[in-house]
Structure 1
Amino acid sequence: MRVADVVDTVHGWYPPETAESWDAVGLSCGDPDARVHRILLVVDPVAETIAEAKENGVQLMISHHPLLLRGVHSVAASTPKGSLVHRLISDRIALLTAHTNADVANPGVSDALAARFELRDTRPLVAAAVGGHGRVGDLPAPLPLRDFAQLAAKVLPASAVGVRAAGDPDRLIRRVAVCGGAGDSFLADATAAGVDAYVTADLRHHPVSEHLAAGGPALLDVGHWSSERPWLDQLAARLSATFGARVGGSGDAATVKVLVSDRVTDPWTVHARR
Structure 2
Amino acid sequence: MIAALEARYDPALAEPWDAVGLVCGDPAEQVRSVLFAVDPTSAVVDEAIAAGADLLVTHHPLLLTPVHGVPADDPKGRVVHRLVRAGIGLFVAHTNADRAAGHGVSDALAAAVGLVDAVPLEPAAAPGAGLGRVGVLREGISLGQFAEQVAMALPTTPGGVRVAGDPERLVRTVAVCGGSGGSLLAAAAAAGADVLLTSDVKHHPAVDAAEVPGPALCDVAHYASEWPWLPVAADLLHRDLGGQVQVTVSGRRTDPWTFRVDGRLRR
> Does TM-score exceed 0.5, indicating one fold?
yes
Residue 79 of structure 2 corresponds to residue 84 of structure 1: yes
Residue 10 of structure 2 corresponds to residue 50 of structure 1: no
Aligned-partner SS, 2:167: coil
Say which of 19, 34, 40 aligns to 1:39.
34
Q: Write the letter of the residue equivalent to 2:116.
A: R
Say which of 39, 63, 66 aligns to 2:61.
66
Q: Write the letter of the residue equivalent to 1:112.
A: A
Say which of 107, 121, 127 aligns to 1:125.
121
Between the aligned partners of 2:248 and 2:80, the Cα distance in structure 1 is: 21
1:180-195 equivalences under 5 Å are 180-195=178-193
When the two chains are superposed, the root-mean-square deviation of aligned CA atoms in Å is 1.0
Say which of 240, 256, 263 aligns to 2:245.
256
Say which of 90, 108, 119 aligns to 1:112.
108
For residue 110 of structure 1, report the CA deviation from its aligned partner.
Answer: 0.5
Structure 1: gaps of 5 or more residues: 1-5, 246-254
1:168-187 equivalences under 5 Å are 168-187=166-185
Between the aligned partners of 2:29 and 2:62, the Cα distance in structure 1 is: 20
Aligned-partner SS, 2:228: helix
Match of 1:98 in 2: 93
Deviates more, 1:47-56 or 1:123-132: 123-132
Match of 1:273 in 2: 262
Seq. identity, %: 50
TM-score normalized by the length of structure 2: 0.95
Say which of 211, 214, 231 aligns to 1:213.
211
Match of 1:234 in 2: 232
Match of 2:199 in 1: 201
For residue 244 of structure 1, report the CA deviation from its aligned partner.
Answer: 2.7
Between the aligned partners of 1:161 and 1:241, the Cα distance in structure 2 is: 35
Between the aligned partners of 1:72 and 1:92, the Cα distance in structure 2 is: 22
1:10-25 equivalences under 5 Å are 10-25=5-20
TM-score normalized by the length of structure 1: 0.93
Runs of 4+ in structure 1 over 3 Å off: none
Between the aligned partners of 1:32 and 1:231, the Cα distance in structure 2 is: 24
Match of 2:23 in 1: 28
Aligned-partner SS, 2:217: strand
Between the aligned partners of 1:143 and 1:83, the Cα distance in structure 2 is: 48
Between the aligned partners of 1:68 and 1:112, the Cα distance in structure 2 is: 25
Structure 2: gaps of 5 or more residues: none
For residue 135 of structure 1, report the CA deviation from its aligned partner.
Answer: 0.5
Between the aligned partners of 2:251 and 2:216, the Cα distance in structure 1 is: 29
Q: Write the letter of the residue equivalent to 2:8.
A: W
How many residue pairs were aligned? 260
Aligned-partner SS, 1:71: coil
Q: Write the letter of the residue equivalent to 1:15.
A: D
For residue 243 of structure 1, report the CA deviation from its aligned partner.
Answer: 1.8
Say which of 140, 164, 187 aligns to 1:166.
164
Between the aligned partners of 1:126 and 1:262, the Cα distance in structure 2 is: 32
Aligned-partner SS, 1:44: coil
Aligned-partner SS, 1:188: helix
CA displacement 1:17-75 (0-9 Å, x = unmatched): 11000000000100112111110000001101011000100010000001000111220
1:147-158 equivalences under 5 Å are 147-158=145-156
